[in-house]
């Protein structure tokens, strides 16, 4: 848990937001099928893409996704199973911090999954969050 606390020690910046948006789908593509928390990561991604969500509120999502996409982790992602455990802990911590604010985005992530988990940014999906909230 100590590593997850370090992730959230600072506030997210606009540059962090940009890096998280740009690197997310590439990382998902590289690890699809091995990411047991894909639904939750996609929900965090949809939250950071929502222009109506304030950066201060979505900061936990941004920092968690930066940790997920970063090639430098506490446990390198190339190590089978254990390599994604620290990422899962950080994503879980972000979900706990965000609480009920993440619910509409989890529903969007479910829709993403049921559509066949396309590995692309789907900007039209984010606007649907308004209907769900």
Q: How many structural domains compose the chain?
A: 1
Place of tokens 């509409």: 104
pLDDT at residue 123 tops 80: no
pLDDT in tens, 1-41: 445 556 777 888 999 999 999 989 888 887 777 788 988 99
Range(s) of the domain holding residue 75: 2-132
**The pLDDT of residue 118:** 55
pLDDT in tens, 110-122: 888 777 655 445 5
**The pLDDT of residue 4:** 55
Among the listed residues 45, 58, 44, 46, the one whose alpha carbon sits nearest the alpha carbon of residue 14? 58
pLDDT in tens, 46-83: 999 998 888 888 999 999 999 999 888 777 777 877 88
Helix (H, G, I), strand (E, B) or coil at 83: helix
Q: What tokens does 118 get?
A: 């396309």
**The pLDDT of residue 128:** 45
Among the listed residues 53, 61, 124, the one whose alpha carbon sits nearest the alpha carbon of residue 92? 61
Helix (H, G, I), strand (E, B) or coil at 99: helix
Question: CB of 75 within 8 A of CB of 4?
Answer: no
Question: CB of 132 within 8 A of CB of 108?
Answer: yes
**Rounded CA separation 60/27 (Å):** 18
Helix (H) or strand (E) holding 74: none
* Average model confidence (pLDDT) across the chain: 81
């Amino acid at each position: 848990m100590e590593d997850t606390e370090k992730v959230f020690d600072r506030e997210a910046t606009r540059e962090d937001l940009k890096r998280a948006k740009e690197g997310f789908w590439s990382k998902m593509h590289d690890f699809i099928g091995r990411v047991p928390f894909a639904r939750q990561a996609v929900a965090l991604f949809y939250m950071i893409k929502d222009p109506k969500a304030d950066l201060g509120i979505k900061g936990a999502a941004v920092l968690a996704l930066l940790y997920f996409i970063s090639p430098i982790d506490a446990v390198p992602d190339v190590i089978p199973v254990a390599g994604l455990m620290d990422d899962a802990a950080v994503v879980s911590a972000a979900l706990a911090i965000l609480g009920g604010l993440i619910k509409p985005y989890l529903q969007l992530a479910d829709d993403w999954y049921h559509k066949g988990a396309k590995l692309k940014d789907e900007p039209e999906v984010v606007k649907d969050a308004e209907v769900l909230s």
